Amino acid sequence: MPVPLLDVNAQNLPLQEELIKTFEKVLQSGRFIMGEEMEAFESEVAEMVGAKHGISVSSGTDAILLALMVLGLGEGDEVLCPSFTFFATAGCIARTGATPVFVDCCPVCFNIDIEDAKSKLSSKTKAVIPVHLFGQAANMDAVMELAYEHDLKVIEDGAQAIGATFRGRGVGSIGDFGTYSFFPSKNLGGFGDGGMLVTNDDALAEKALMLRNHGMSPKYYHKLVGGNFRCDALQAALLRVKLREYETYTQRRQANAAYYIEQLVKLSGVVQADPSHCGCAEQQRQQLITEGTQLVLPVSYEHNEHIWNQFTIRVLNGKRDAMKAFLTEKGIGCDTYYPVPLHQQECFDGLSKTALPVSEMLAEEVISIPVYPELSKEQKDEVITEIQNFIKN
């Protein structure tokens, strides 16, 4: 039985009837840009994540770009961001004219390493973009402390983590802005591109609303130069249907991850870090990995609610590509997020270079396996069996 890495139809087709009805409703309304459905969707998401304002936009990328524009970041400014993330985080910084300054990450939770961030501060540093990678919150206590001490703005890139929490608070609701993506492979996957920006600050929200639509207020009067970052009514209406199921999707992802961990950790050569605290410290890294270690499982820290956008394993001893080929041959979907850290991307060749050893190591070691909500027990068992077969050889 093949096990795809993601199966969007398994999630969407059971909702087909309701989605079609929703489409008809929007069709008949004749209103396709923004509007009531969008506003309802914004309040529902804002409430779910615990933020005051939700501002839906055209994509997760545009949410980050808009946040940077609202905060007035641009040429001459430096913005800290992890190197081990999806391109959009840094791409948006560069597009404003500001300089992305790449920071290394924790080998256990894959999120920004604040000690390393401190070493990269300069008089030009104006903001930091922590990414809640793979569905788990970055250490927001440390991020907010750094921001407070150095007067930095904070944009949380929650594209992969909508609904995840850090010490009980929704990710995205802690910094100046939080951003989410509704790209089909994200946990709240839409029917095309879409994204959202959240904030608790009234003035920032107002400026974001204006910049979302060409800096226009009132109509045809432009106080600022914005863009077209608007959201489609249809996208919002369809996403509202899925939002009602969202808690179930999350619980199933969490159950899948828990099952993988329970079964895989029993195998010899498979280890998992202590979930009680972040493993940035060199020492924990050393103690975790011994001579016979082959795989390192991902961890959900006790203070976080992880929503498992990806279940990402580290494959040691240079065997990642071999494991990828093996699983692929057995019909098990898998992929590497991300094979090239951003500080090594060609488009950033012009930036000053420092080695980021953890990001570089992870790019060579990581593999993500299927964790989507609709996986059956048989499928999960098959994934586990094939991983076991691989490490036995």
Question: With binding defined as CB under 6 A, does residue 89 bind ligand PLP?
Answer: yes
Cβ-based nearer residue to ligand PLP, 61 or 139: 61
Total residues at the site for ligand PLP (CB under 6 A)? 15
Question: With binding defined as CB under 6 A, does residue 85 bind ligand PLP?
Answer: yes
Cα–chain-centroid distance for residue 275?
A: 20
Instruction: Please give the residues from 103 up to 162 whose contact with ligand PLP meets the rule CB under 6 A.
Output: 131, 157, 159-160
Question: With binding defined as CB under 6 A, does residue 83 bind ligand PLP?
Answer: no
CA gap 368, 50 in Å, rounded: 29
Question: With binding defined as CB under 6 A, does residue 256 bind ligand PLP?
Answer: no
Locate tokens 């009067």: which residue?
221
Question: With binding defined as CB under 6 A, does residue 341 bind ligand PLP?
Answer: no
Cβ-based nearer residue to ligand PLP, 194 or 370: 194
H/E stretch holding 78 reads: strand 78-82
Q: What's the min distance (Å) between Cβ of 134 and ligand PLP?
A: 9
Question: With binding defined as CB under 6 A, does residue 183 bind ligand PLP?
Answer: yes
Around Cβ 391, how many Cβ atoms within 10 Å? 18
Cβ-based nearer residue to ligand PLP, 177 or 326: 177
Cβ-based nearer residue to ligand PLP, 86 or 260: 86
Q: What's the min distance (Å) between Cβ of 191 and ligand PLP?
A: 13
Cβ-based nearer residue to ligand PLP, 177 or 183: 183
What sign does the CA torsion over 307, 311, 312, 313 have?
A: positive
Q: What's the min distance (Å) between Cβ of 337 and ligand PLP?
A: 8
CA gap 270, 296 in Å, rounded: 6
Question: With binding defined as CB under 6 A, does residue 310 bind ligand PLP?
Answer: no
CA gap 134, 337 in Å, rounded: 9
Concatenating the DSSP letter of every residue in 303-315 gives TEE---S-EEEEE
H/E stretch holding 147 reads: helix 140-150
CA gap 329, 79 in Å, rounded: 42
Instruction: Please give the residues from 220 up to 239 whose contact with ligand PLP meets the rule CB under 6 A.
Output: none
What is the C-alpha end-to-end distance of the chain, expressed in Å? 22
Locate tokens 């999960």: which residue?
380
Task: Tell me which stretch binds ligand PLP (CB under 6 A): 17-25, 81-89, 119-127, 270-278.
Answer: 81-89
Cβ-based nearer residue to ligand PLP, 155 or 323: 155
- The DSSP bridge partners found for residue 166 are 169, 304
Question: With binding defined as CB under 6 A, does residue 59 bind ligand PLP?
Answer: yes
Please give the DSSP secondary-structure letter assigned to residue 15.
G
CA gap 377, 201 in Å, rounded: 44
Cβ-based nearer residue to ligand PLP, 138 or 313: 138
Cβ-based nearer residue to ligand PLP, 211 or 384: 211
258 phi and psi angles, rounded to 5 deg: -65, -40
Question: With binding defined as CB under 6 A, does residue 181 bind ligand PLP?
Answer: yes
Task: Tell me which stretch binds ligand PLP (CB under 6 A): 58-66, 245-253, 300-308, 369-377.
Answer: 58-66
What sign does the CA torsion over 46, 47, 51, 53 have?
A: positive
Binds ligand PLP (CB under 6 A): choice among 73, 88, 295, 356: 88
Q: What's the min distance (Å) between Cβ of 10 and ligand PLP?
A: 20
Please give the DSSP secondary-structure letter assigned to residue 133.
G
CA gap 245, 232 in Å, rounded: 21
Residues that bind ligand PLP (CB under 6 A): 59-61, 85-86, 88-89, 131, 157, 159-160, 181, 183, 193, 195
